[in-house]
Amino acid sequence: MLRRALIACAFSAIVVAVAPAQASVANKIVSLHVYRFHVDRAAFDTVNLLAPGADSIDLLNVDSPALLVLAALDGAFKYDSAGLVRLTVTVDNKPVTEHAVRLRQFLYSPQGKISVPFIVYGMLCGTYEIKAQIVRGGRNVDERAASIQFQCGD
């Protein structure tokens, strides 16, 4: 009996020593995507306003009552992923909106990629500063920012 217990202990010690340590994969915000909402079509635009060449589009604040902002993340995601993604939007340095979504709401991604959606309501004239952050334990772990200029419409 004692011999079996010693063998079992020795075997489990070998397994623990041989098993590789699990690497902690940090979540990163790899990109932001912004799309206008079209009321007449009840659909979001297919043009990412942050894509190369999109700055040539004349953007009027009256064209759309809302924006869809997607924060694209890479990393390890599972049910108990800690932290949150926070989106902050200001127009000409005035706060417009702040949203936070817990990472644990995104159950699983076998590819290690997720997009966290945010809706920004109420279009204003001016420069939109859009900032997405990954926050864990009260600390900013990663962030990405972009800006878009909306002109005043009729």
CATH number at residue 87: 2.60.40.10
Is the pLDDT confidence value at 107 over 90?
no
Q: Which two tokens stand for residue 111?
A: 């590819």
Residues spanned by the domain of 60: 23-150
What is the C-alpha to C-alpha distance for residues 88 and 99, in angstroms, rounded to an integer?
7
Q: How confident is the model at residue 145 (pLDDT cuts 50, 70, 90)?
A: very high
Strand partners, 140: 135
Task: Give residue 129's pLDDT.
Answer: 96
User: Does residue 63 fall inside a structural domain?
Assistant: yes
Total number of domains constituting the chain: 1
Mean pLDDT of the chain: 79
Of residues 61 and 85, more confidently modeled: 85
Global pTM value: 0.77
Sheet of strand 126-136: strand arrangement: 94-102, 84-91, 126-136, 139-150
Which has the higher per-residue pLDDT, 29 or 63? 29
